[in-house]
Chains A and B, each alone.
Chain A
Amino acid sequence: MHSFGYRANALVTFGVTILAVMCAMASLSDNLNFPSPTAHIQVMNVNWFQKQPNGNDEVSLTMNITADLQSMFTWNTKQVFVFLAAEYETPQNSLNQVSLWDAIIPSKERAKFWIHTTNKYRFADQGSNLRGKEFNLTLHWHVMPKTGKMSADKIVMTGYQLPENYR
């Protein structure tokens, strides 16, 4: 009845159960956090704006990004992945999302930042629809936990427009 094997089995089963319960509780405790992030983005300059040889419009922007994501961090947060996407509609596509810039925020201390940057990824359209195009800039974030459920949300900023002519 009380052989070594049975005791080892009981001990391992108990240990694994406790670990699983603790992981589940850590993940559930994230639901008690209601983050209130803020973000502000300014397009400072259109560096160049042209048609690629394959016919797609491409533009290069310089932006000021200010954000405070500190309220996102809980004790179960490993990191926050934050990225800025341009979102717009064209006659061909009901939604275009083009990621312009991203960053990994490893700790709460680094979650309040200000950065002056050009777009890190190419802002290119599928086709030639960018002249005079109104677009939204959306700051997305993806909270990656130490364990458990991942969560994501965004702030949409409207009212940006590209120039009417190539430059």
Chain B
Amino acid sequence: MGYIGETIDSIKSIQIRQLITQGVSLGMIVTSALIIWKALMCFTGSESPVVVVLSGSMEPGFKRGDILFLHMSNDPIRAGEIVVFNVDGREIPIVHRVIKVHERQETGEVDVLTKGDNNFGDDRLLYAQGQLWLQRHHIMGRAVGFLPYVGWVTIIMTEKPIIKYVLIGALGLLVITSKD
């Protein structure tokens, strides 16, 4: 009870200068998060440096809710690497392992076939109609690091938006009412 009363009092006692300070500190938090994300994009060369595993097609290596760190370099793609790719007509990128590579003699263009470790067959059924191979431009990055469970936060937030709004609201209130 005392805590809530205190909070209300602190909102009432806000003056204009204090309000601006709070606004600036809120802005600092949001922009610093954005800076970290964009810096990661620069260092890794991938447009999404961190992905959350959403399906069980790579089990037991990667489970739903695990986080993968991606890296996109100019190194050629080789069999065995775990790549993240986008297929035309599908919104959600897929994380699977490369099982076949054919690299052209002069141009260096590659044809790549992928498969999920836990899937029975290769990925030709997932590709666009009539597509037999992935090319370089389909591939967003290769997985280099792994962190278990942390991705559950985003899965829960996308599936239960109420929790997201409650959390954002509570954090916002905390920032506004904090005294120092």
Contacts and interface: CB of A to CB of B under 8 A. Distances in A.
Given A81-B117, A94-B105, A150 B144 contact: yes
Interface in B46-102: 60-62, 76, 78-82, 97, 99-102
Contacts of B117: 81, 102, 104
Interface in A91-132: 91-99, 102, 104, 106, 121, 126
B168 interface: no
B103 A3 contact: no
B160 interface: no
A85 B80 contact: yes
Contact of B146 (A4, A92, A95, A147): A147
A147 B148 contact: yes
Contacts of B148: 146-147
A126 B145 contact: no
A142 B104 contact: no
Interface string B95-123: 00101111111001001000001000010
B145 A83 contact: no
A6 B123 CA distance: 50
B67 to A, nearest CB: 10
B174 interface: yes
A78 interface: yes
B35 to A, nearest CB: 20
Contact of B105 (A93, A106, A148): A93
B143 interface: yes
Contact of A92 (B82, B100, B104, B174): B104
Contacts of B147: 23, 147-148
B3 interface: yes
Interface in A74-91: 78-79, 81, 83, 85, 91
Contacts of B62: 144
A121 B146 CA distance: 27
A93 B108 CA distance: 9
Given A94-B105, A149-B145, A150-B143, A3 B3 contact: yes
Interface of A: 3-5, 23, 27, 78-79, 81, 83, 85, 91-99, 102, 104, 106, 121, 126, 140, 142, 144-150, 152, 154
Interface of B: 3, 60-62, 76, 78-82, 97, 99-105, 108, 111, 117, 122, 143-148, 174
